[in-house]
């Protein structure tokens, strides 16, 4: 899995989209490789949800396929419980993955005062996520750190991630999938907004 992550990083670096300077802002867009990672996550999630859907359908049909059988409370409760459990697990997996994906940056804009993040959206046909148009962080109120992969469904993000947060929101930027200028700029901001005592190696990661 680590080898795959390294290969993904090399592929991402070979397809990086250049930073765009527009007036006083720097504008970054993730490479297609990161879009492919999100698509792969969707496929892996389907690999969990489809079997659960089959369980739900099978157990639901069992409630109607009872000719010649005596319906006992135990039989009825078991079928309903298994069907509902399948629904709950499917919804839980979707919400867990969707909440992480919807915080991962697809585009980033940086000015002297603001870091603006436009995240990916993540929908399946039976579930619709309310998309967040963008996250806007004031640099003087921002906390930023390097962190681990926020999306456990894939190793492709590895630990090449900056976490941005303030009192109300947080977002993740997987810097290897953007022009290298973004990592340099975020590192400058990290040093600028982090108290000096927390810049000691080993403490910075947990800020």
Which pLDDT value is given to residue 203?
A: 47
Which pLDDT value is given to residue 6?
A: 52
Confidence band for 28, pLDDT divided at 50, 70 and 90: very high
The verdict on residue 204 lying in a domain is no
CA angle 11-143-41, nearest 5°?
A: 35
Average pLDDT over residues 102-119: 93
The verdict on residue 159 lying in a domain is yes
Total domains in the chain come to 1
CA angle 8-97-79, nearest 5°?
A: 130
The verdict on residue 205 lying in a domain is no
Do 191 and 36 meet the contact criterion of CB atoms below 8 Å apart? no
State the first-to-last Cα distance of the chain, in angstroms, to the nearest integer: 28
The verdict on residue 206 lying in a domain is no
The CA–CA distances, whole Å, from 103 to 15, 58, 65, 84 equal: 22, 35, 45, 29
The verdict on residue 201 lying in a domain is no
Determine the Cα–Cα distance for residues 7 and 31; give it in Å rounded to an integer. Answer: 14
- Residue 166's nearest CA partner among 136, 141, 139 is 141
Asked whether the CA dihedral 61, 62, 63, 69 is positive or negative, the reply is: positive
Q: What is the pTM of this model?
A: 0.74
Average pLDDT over residues 40-57: 75
Greater pLDDT, 139 or 157: 139
The CA–CA distances, whole Å, from 85 to 95, 97, 99, 106, 183 equal: 15, 18, 21, 34, 43
Torsion from C-alpha of 58, 63, 66, 69, nearest 10 degrees: 110
Confidence band for 81, pLDDT divided at 50, 70 and 90: confident
The verdict on residue 202 lying in a domain is no
Which pLDDT value is given to residue 206?
A: 43
Determine the Cα–Cα distance for residues 175 and 13; give it in Å rounded to an integer. Answer: 10
The verdict on residue 149 lying in a domain is yes
Domain with 47 in it: 1-194
Which pLDDT value is given to residue 26?
A: 93
Q: Is the pLDDT of residue 52 over 80?
A: no
DSSP letter, residue 19: P
- Residue 25's nearest CA partner among 109, 106, 108, 107 is 109
The verdict on residue 203 lying in a domain is no
Do 190 and 145 meet the contact criterion of CB atoms below 8 Å apart? yes
């Amino acid at each position: 899995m680590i080898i795959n992550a390294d290969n993904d990083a090399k592929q991402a670096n070979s397809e990086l989209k250049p930073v765009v300077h527009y007036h006083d802002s720097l504008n970054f867009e993730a490479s297609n490789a990161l879009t492919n990672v999100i698509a792969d996550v969707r496929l892996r999630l389907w690999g969990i949800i489809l079997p659960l859907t089959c369980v739900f359908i099978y157990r639901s049909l069992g409630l109607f396929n009872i000719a010649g059988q005596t319906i006992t409370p135990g039989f009825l409760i078991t079928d309903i419980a298994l069907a509902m459990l399948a629904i709950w697990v499917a919804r839980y997996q979707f919400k867990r993955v969707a909440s992480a994906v919807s915080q991962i940056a697809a585009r980033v804009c940086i000015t002297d005062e603001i870091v603006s993040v436009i995240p990916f959206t993540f929908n399946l046909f039976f579930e619709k996520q309310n998309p967040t148009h963008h996250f806007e962080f004031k640099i003087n109120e921002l906390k930023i750190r390097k962190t681990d992969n926020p999306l456990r469904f894939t190793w492709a993000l590895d630990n090449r991630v900056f976490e941005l947060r303030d009192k109300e929101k947080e977002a993740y930027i997987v810097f290897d999938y953007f022009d290298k200028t973004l990592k340099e700029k975020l590192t400058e901001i990290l040093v600028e907004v982090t108290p000096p005592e927390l810049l000691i190696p080993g403490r910075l990661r947990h800020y």
